[in-house]
Amino acid sequence: MLLGEPTGVRSDLPAVRVGEDALDREGLWEAASAVAARLGGASAVAVHGEASLHTVVAVVGGLLAGVPVVPVPADAGTAERRHILRDSGAELWIGPDLDEVGLPRLPVDPAERAPVRSGAEPEPGATALIMYTSGTTGSPKGVLIPRRAVAACLDGLAEAWAWTSRDVLVHGLPLFHVHGLVLGMLGALRTGSPLIHTVRPRPAAYAAAAEAGGTLFFGVPTVWSRIAADPAALRPLSSARLLVSGSAALPEGVARTVREATGRYLVERYGMTETLITLAARADEPPLTGWVGRPIAGVQARIRGERGEEVPADGQSIGHLQMRGATLFDGYLGLPEETAKAWTADGWFSTGDAAVADAEGRYRIVGRTSVDLIKSGGYRVGAGEVEAALLDHPAVREAAVVGEPDDDLGQRIVAYLVGEGIDEKDVIDFVAARLSVHKRPREIRVVEGLPRNAMGKVQKKSLL
């Protein structure tokens, strides 16, 4: 079963706590069964992805019923929400009463109870989730995620991180993305580890959860950066078993601060909507900041050049990251041509990310090939490496590096920085002293803030 009964499930803690609201495992299953009984064989159900028990019960109800769940971002605008609802073919809406929804609204009450559904589990190949891409290259695309992919992803991570029902998972990530919903909610239910969702990923909330017995913490680099800047929040995390960062590159300075204050390393992982999580640093190995580890069980990875040639696994050579294996999606909803273009002739999914690999089989992501692979003066430069160096400068709080057209270089490296007292020459020299000289920014632009999405990822197309 996708959300079956793991061994050793703790009875002294709720299965899920979101803010002040909580449900034990029996209560959650009975509340979700009440939802499942009312879904009536719908083709898909759309769920408003707010951080609440209502969302947890609704998603579990859809999975119990075998009805594909369409998580809708809680911060979606009217046009985006309408597109997702229309494109997904959702027949029911679980969420607030909104004029633009135009679907029958199914109320959810976490206090409602119904007998736990029995009967055959949906086939492993049945669609569990229809999750939408960020839409950076056009309208968001519906990604068809089968039940087998969710199970493979979560089991692979459980093995890599020694994640069991003895853990208590803590995070405050959105319940409409892979990180917060699949890893952070379904992962807790599949492994049997109690979940404490802090509603928002505030440092004080993470600290309080650590003091309450949290052992496994998920966050994006923005969250860890804020925690690193708050000594009172950092100290309690020394009791944690594992701290995990993902969804964007982790600055070395943040990792170092956390490590020095808590004695705990931040481990990183990599994934995307179409693949779920495919690469992860293991809990039983010393992590390398900036490296997202090896393929999890059931997944293969490779790096190829512009013409499909093999790229040396030397820790330096950059190429296109490609994946295949058990965690991958079944295609883009209603877009067969887009689906076909996403795969190579020999059956590998093209992630669109640029990466390097080392001789130990570990991977480092240097960014999206569309905006983060910069070709300057005949060199291929990964924006992520430059950003990591910039973030080690004491005056720099945030950094985004892009390549802009240049008549001489092809592309010149431009850095958008947030910070206090930034001196352009000093920052450029700082990077040149740490990386190869050709990787230094040619221009520095100081800004008040960087455009980010709900997961904290910088939206670089807004800078170009």
Tens of pLDDT, residue by residue over 102-141, are: 999 999 999 999 999 777 789 999 999 999 987 555 678 9
Locate all alpha helices (DSSP H) within 47-146, ordered by sequence: 53-65, 78-88
pLDDT at residue 176 in the model: 95
pLDDT at residue 118 in the model: 76
> Would you place residue 455 in the very low, low, confident or very high pLDDT band (cuts 50, 70, 90)?
low
Q: How many CB atoms lie within 10 A of CB 198?
A: 21
User: What are the tens digits of pLDDT across the range 222-257?
Assistant: 899 899 999 999 999 999 999 999 988 888 889 999
Q: β-strand 363-368 against 195-197: which pairing, if any?
A: unpaired
Q: Which of 14-28, 154-168, 265-279, 444-458 has the least mean pLDDT?
A: 444-458
Q: Give me the mean pLDDT over the 291-320 stretch.
A: 95
Q: Identify the DSSP state of 44.
A: -
Burial class (CB in 10 A: 0-12, 13-18, 19+), 444: buried
Q: Is the pLDDT of residue 379 over 80?
A: no
pLDDT at residue 454 in the model: 59
User: What are the tens digits of pLDDT across the range 9-64?
Assistant: 888 999 999 999 999 999 999 999 999 999 988 999 999 999 999 999 999 999 99
pLDDT at residue 383 in the model: 84
Q: Is the pLDDT of residue 361 over 70?
A: yes
Percent of the chain with pLDDT over 90: 76
C-alpha–C-alpha distance, residues 48 and 237, integer Å: 31
The helix (H) or strand (E) run that includes residue 390 is helix 383-391
C-alpha–C-alpha distance, residues 216 and 210, integer Å: 9
User: What are the tens digits of pLDDT across the range 159-199?
Assistant: 999 999 999 999 999 999 999 999 999 999 999 999 999 99
> Would you place residue 5 in the very low, low, confident or very high pLDDT band (cuts 50, 70, 90)?
confident
Query: For tokens 């999580």, what's the residue?
Result: 277
- Burial call 205-243: b when 16+ CB within 10 Å, e when fewer: bbbbbbeebbbbbbbbbbbbbbbbeeeebbebbeebbbb
The helix (H) or strand (E) run that includes residue 320 is strand 319-325
Q: Give me the mean pLDDT over the 282-289 stretch.
A: 92
Q: How many CB atoms lie within 10 A of CB 443?
A: 13
* Alpha carbon distance, N-terminus to C-terminus of the chain: 46
Q: Between 411 and 303, where is the model more confident?
A: 303
**Closest C-alpha to 249, from 460, 396, 456, 463:** 456
C-alpha–C-alpha distance, residues 385 and 221, integer Å: 15
Q: Is the pLDDT of residue 357 over 70?
A: yes
Q: What is the CATH number that goes with domain 373-462? A: 3.30.300.30
What does residue 240 show for φ and ψ, rounded to 5 degrees? -70, 155
> Would you place residue 462 in the very low, low, confident or very high pLDDT band (cuts 50, 70, 90)?
confident
C-alpha–C-alpha distance, residues 273 and 321, integer Å: 15
Q: Give me the mean pLDDT over the 315-331 stretch.
A: 96
Q: Give me the mean pLDDT over the 329-351 stretch.
A: 96
Q: Identify the DSSP state of 360.
A: T
Q: Are 109 and 131 in contact (CB under 8 A)?
A: no
C-alpha–C-alpha distance, residues 322 and 343, integer Å: 9
The full length of the chain comes to: 464
